[in-house]
Structure 1
Amino acid sequence: MNPGVSLLCFFLCLSTIVCDRVYVHPFHLFSYNKSSCEKLDNLTQEEKMFVPISIESQTIPAYEENLKDKTKLGTQSSDTKRDQRLSYLKDLVHVLGMRFYGALKETLKGENILLSPTNLYRSLLSFYLGASEQTAADLQNFLGFVPPSGDPDCTSKVDGHKVLLTLKTMDDLLLSSGADDPLFTKLSCLFSAPSVRLSESLVHSLAPSADYFYARAVDFTNPSQAAELIESFVKGKDVSRTQNVLTNIDPSTTLLFVTYIQFKANVKKASQLKELQEFWTDSSTKILVPMLSVTGTFQYKRDDSKNFSVIKVPVSENTLLVLVQPVNSNDLNQIESELSLHPSSTWLQNLSPRHIKLSLPELTIQSAYDLQELLTNMNLSALLGKKANLTKISDANLTVGKVQYMPAILRNTFTHVFYLLEENEGSLPLEVTLNKPFLLAVYEKNSKAMVLIGRVTNPLNSF
């Protein structure tokens, strides 16, 4: 064959191979495809509605029984696509979570903070699923899904069910290692005013994303009584609850969404120190707190240019507790100010194994936030305000009284189950003591998704 023809054939084959590698924008991992758009166009516009039973009723409603048959969100189409979605979504979750962390930092100056970026994202996504028209577009953008083109067609919209499924995958990965997993439970409740009808399909969409999901009717015209009924209802469920936190409910409310999570981390192979230890809440104030101590091989780094150290503590096969402490007389302000500038997994990078004796406070942190209040502080009050179009939630003219978001409880305890890496008996351990304000985060090991982030300024202040 003529050498020139052979060379031409080679380049033609090469160009064919190259052309097969079509770039797919990450947005399209979650957007509707054309076939889905056609199905949506053919769907009837009438949503099937139901009226929730009263919160005071002792019976189990039929619609709740039906939810038991719809406890699965579905499965990802492939491991590759699942991993791509997880990689993209965890960064969107982190960015949104850090925006709210910044707002809380300004509001709760010097106080403990605990929030769950994943649960916060899930709460807003729940309203996206129930939103229409401009409200849906605004929520989509706020959640970080900006379409690559400006065409307002179906494929420029995000399929919220795909996003919900990916968030559920994060949870499943976190809890997939059996009985020794930390306690991590979620409860969500949708409370509507009497006679307000809710979308059956929306409730069926939201139910699988929580371990416990309830829809009940509440009379909000007596706010204090409504708050007592809600607190009593929630405390009667399987998730441990704390003091009453529902306050300032607007009597004109027709919808209230409450979500709780509880996370309990067991620091393996740890023991409780017999004596109370010093903890410096600031440079001039110290308190005495109960502390845990554990010696083992941990992943660790000290960054003197950024003035902080990081230690990674495995609390289950797939769950990581990451502790970040200022060094070189630094405080938390610089570290916190840079949270939004880096990917969620930054603290997990460039760690190396060290033989360490770690001492840290025994903690129970509880928190409760009203998302609407936080949105107002971020100059975004209209996002879920009275003019929000939430016609996919109900055919009534809804007034969202609160979106009460409670990352609620983080407990770290000690146990004598041996889990950590083997100790290096031949060397003296590096002593790391968390005896001044520090940050903590909980990650899912495989996806590197940040499930919780918190600031501990006083271990004795649980709420």
Structure 2
Amino acid sequence: MLNPLGTETPWRQFSSMNLVTHLLCLVACLTLVTCDRVYVHPFTLYSFNETDCDKLEKLVQEGKTIVPVSIESQTTPEYEGDVDDKNKLEAPSLNTWGKEERGYLSGLVYVVGMRLYSALQKAHRDQNVLLSPTSLYSSLVSFYLGASNQTALDLQGLLGFVPPSGNLDCTSTAVGKNFLSSLRMVERLVKSGDEELLFSKTLSLFSAPGIPLFQLFLEHLLPSADAFYARAVDFTNPGEAAKQINAFVEAKSEGQSKLVLADIDPASELLLVADVCLAVNVKQAFPLKEPQEFWVDSSTKVLVPMLSLTGTFKYKTDASGTFSVVEVPISKTALLVLLQPINGSDLEHVEAELTWQSSAWLQWLSPREIKLTLPALTLEGISDLQELLADMELPGLLGKGADFSRISNTSITVGKVINKAFFKLASDGTDQPADPAAQKEDGVYLDVTLNKPFLFALFEKQSRAMLFLGRVVNPLHED
């Protein structure tokens, strides 16, 4: 495992005595990178007091549990809530957040997202990659809400929290709930944009038949998505369980989302599926009449549909001249940032440079008049958080033996934690306008063409939290 300074630090070396010290170093590193070098303690931003802990402890002691209905049930259980009621909530706003709060949250999401991306990228070399850092981080926070004792401490280490003195279980519940709420606010901000951008998130929790789940845990997860489901599945027949879950996810998305879940450990007692979709029709982007060349590698090219945008966008090249960055507002609430190697540099080298540099995406950009040409995109990525953690040498974090006594009053084994991401970028269908670049003198517009493998990220505009991160090796392949 890489620590914030980039050196090898096996997870096993973390003892209970020195864990807090390492965590302090991690948070200090994060805040140096993401908060304009102002140290901000997370618990001053997401605070709670002794009364809050007392209230939470009382709810936990009451220990109300719910046994989820079968996945085959045709009725909607009361504990899944009313999606329509949730969508009637007041418009989201970050007006109460200061710059430090936004920087802290987006910094934590970025660092964890890049670590998970690195693990996924290594497992899928020379392929397209897509993930949602906010969704993955939200999934980890969800399990943090259900964790106790050493498991809660271990999850704090990955998430970047520093535990204060006091009741650890109160910390995991109070802080986890606040972070989950903040992440959901960011997602709702994206949804509140113009009609050209469509965003949705579905969360499905599957448990073994007869397993009681704490009502408090389900209530924490309920508002964290547009739709939340908790159903019982017989994992002892893995093939049939996979078919049932695939069919359930597809049916609840009205056929828009297909989950290809092949194998399930029959010893599993809990499985989570988070499904995030974003599709945007970019205003003032028009499709080129003919497919254009895209070089998959130095000897292989394909013809792909391309979009063209002309306007004033933020732009930079890095100090070493290895990559360029273009920032394009694609809606009132979202920024698309495109990063491509230049001057003979390759994508793998650029990816290695980006691991701990959040500033590479959004800082030190300057307005330029640009003619931008890029592929129309339809990408889908499915990742198992358990596999990614194993690749990061953290196989026990959510594995067998982990303490999730705040999810259920029986010992449970967490199986797959699936995060599915879908991203589509297209034109808004407007007719092709006269080329404004042709009406100006040569050299006024900087011509930027993405015709070889590149990276992209989509950020929520106010918080600058990274919602999607992807690598495009071949635009014709959806995954």
TM score, norm. by length of structure 1: 0.87
Map of 1:12 onto structure 2: none
- The answer as to whether partners of 2:340 and 2:453 remain within 8 angstroms in 1 is yes
Which residue type is aligned with residue 258 of structure 1? Answer: V
Q: Is structure 2 residue 464 aligned with structure 1 residue 448? A: yes
- The answer as to whether partners of 1:297 and 1:423 remain within 8 angstroms in 2 is no
Q: Is structure 2 residue 419 aligned with structure 1 residue 375? A: no
Map of 1:177 onto structure 2: 193
Deviation sequence 1:134-188 (CA, Å, 0-9, x none): 11121122110023x66666786562111111111211222333433x1111011
Which 10-residue stretch deviates more, 376-385 or 76-85? Answer: 76-85
210, 221, 230: which one aligns with 2:236: 221
214, 218, 222: which one aligns with 1:199: 214
SS class of match (1:111) = coil
Report deviation, 1:303.
3.1
143, 160, 183: which one aligns with 1:127: 143
SS class of match (2:397) = helix
SS class of match (2:76) = coil
Map of 2:447 onto structure 1: 431
For the residues of structure 2 that align with 1:417 and 1:410, how far apart are their CA atoms? 21
SS class of match (2:103) = helix
Which 10-residue stretch deviates more, 72-81 or 384-393? Answer: 72-81
Written as runs of structure 1 = structure 2, the 5 A alignment for 1:221-260 is: 221-238=236-253, 241-260=256-275
Which residue type is aligned with residue 251 of structure 2? Answer: G
Map of 1:85 onto structure 2: 101
Deviation sequence 1:114-151 (CA, Å, 0-9, x none): 1111000000111011111111121122110023x666
The 1:132/1:77 distance shift into structure 2, 3 A limit, reads farther
Report deviation, 1:400.
1.2
Map of 2:307 onto structure 1: 292
Deviation sequence 1:383-434 (CA, Å, 0-9, x none): 1111011111112221112111112x1111111459x9x9675344322111
Q: Is structure 2 residue 129 aligned with structure 1 residue 113? A: yes
Deviation sequence 1:332-361 (CA, Å, 0-9, x none): 122211223222x53222222222221111
The 1:387/1:31 distance shift into structure 2, 3 A limit, reads farther
Report deviation, 1:306.
3.7
The 1:91/1:246 distance shift into structure 2, 3 A limit, reads same
Map of 2:180 onto structure 1: 164
For the residues of structure 1 that align with 2:453 and 2:478, how far apart are their CA atoms? 14
Which 10-residue stretch deviates more, 301-310 or 107-116? Answer: 301-310
Q: Is structure 2 residue 370 aligned with structure 1 residue 356? A: yes
Written as runs of structure 1 = structure 2, the 5 A alignment for 1:16-55 is: 25-43=41-59, 45-55=61-71
Deviation sequence 1:3-38 (CA, Å, 0-9, x none): xxxxxxxxxxxxxxxxxxxx9733332253233234
Map of 1:7 onto structure 2: none
For the residues of structure 1 that align with 2:329 and 2:441, how far apart are their CA atoms? 22
For the residues of structure 2 that align with 1:434 and 1:114, how far apart are their CA atoms? 18
- The answer as to whether partners of 1:82 and 1:166 remain within 8 angstroms in 2 is no
For the residues of structure 2 that align with 1:153 and 1:230, how far apart are their CA atoms? 34
Report deviation, 1:67.
7.2
For the residues of structure 2 that align with 1:91 and 1:53, how far apart are their CA atoms? 38
Root-mean-square deviation (Å)? 2.7
The 1:76/1:41 distance shift into structure 2, 3 A limit, reads farther
- The answer as to whether partners of 1:292 and 1:414 remain within 8 angstroms in 2 is yes
Map of 2:33 onto structure 1: none
Which residue type is aligned with residue 286 of structure 2? Answer: S
For the residues of structure 2 that align with 1:77 and 1:34, how far apart are their CA atoms? 27
Report deviation, 1:77.
11
Written as runs of structure 1 = structure 2, the 5 A alignment for 1:49-68 is: 49-65=65-81
The 1:246/1:400 distance shift into structure 2, 3 A limit, reads same
Which residue type is aligned with residue 415 of structure 1? Answer: D
The 1:40/1:167 distance shift into structure 2, 3 A limit, reads same
- The answer as to whether partners of 1:86 and 1:170 remain within 8 angstroms in 2 is no
Map of 1:347 onto structure 2: 361
Question: Gapped runs of 5+ residues in structure 1?
Answer: 1-22
SS class of match (1:369) = strand
Report deviation, 1:437.
0.3
- The answer as to whether partners of 1:70 and 1:204 remain within 8 angstroms in 2 is no
SS class of match (1:160) = helix
The 1:25/1:49 distance shift into structure 2, 3 A limit, reads same
- The answer as to whether partners of 1:300 and 1:311 remain within 8 angstroms in 2 is yes
Deviation sequence 1:32-76 (CA, Å, 0-9, x none): 323323434555523211111111111122223467667799999
For the residues of structure 2 that align with 1:443 and 1:462, how far apart are their CA atoms? 21
The 1:383/1:417 distance shift into structure 2, 3 A limit, reads same
Structure whose CA Rg is larger:
1
- The answer as to whether partners of 1:263 and 1:410 remain within 8 angstroms in 2 is yes
The 1:163/1:243 distance shift into structure 2, 3 A limit, reads closer
The 1:64/1:80 distance shift into structure 2, 3 A limit, reads closer
Question: Alignment identity in percent?
Answer: 50
- The answer as to whether partners of 2:60 and 2:216 remain within 8 angstroms in 1 is no
SS class of match (2:426) = strand
Map of 1:312 onto structure 2: 327
Q: Is structure 2 residue 162 aligned with structure 1 residue 146? A: yes
The 1:423/1:354 distance shift into structure 2, 3 A limit, reads farther
Question: Gapped runs of 5+ residues in structure 2?
Answer: 1-38
SS class of match (2:404) = coil
The 1:53/1:44 distance shift into structure 2, 3 A limit, reads closer
TM score, norm. by length of structure 2: 0.84
The 1:308/1:240 distance shift into structure 2, 3 A limit, reads farther
For the residues of structure 1 that align with 2:92 and 2:308, how far apart are their CA atoms? 41
Report deviation, 1:225.
1.1
- The answer as to whether partners of 1:33 and 1:155 remain within 8 angstroms in 2 is no
For the residues of structure 1 that align with 2:330 and 2:453, how far apart are their CA atoms? 21
Which residue type is aligned with residue 392 of structure 1? Answer: R
The 1:73/1:24 distance shift into structure 2, 3 A limit, reads farther
Map of 2:424 onto structure 1: 411
- The answer as to whether partners of 1:185 and 1:239 remain within 8 angstroms in 2 is no
SS class of match (1:341) = coil
Map of 2:115 onto structure 1: 99
For the residues of structure 1 that align with 2:89 and 2:116, how far apart are their CA atoms? 27
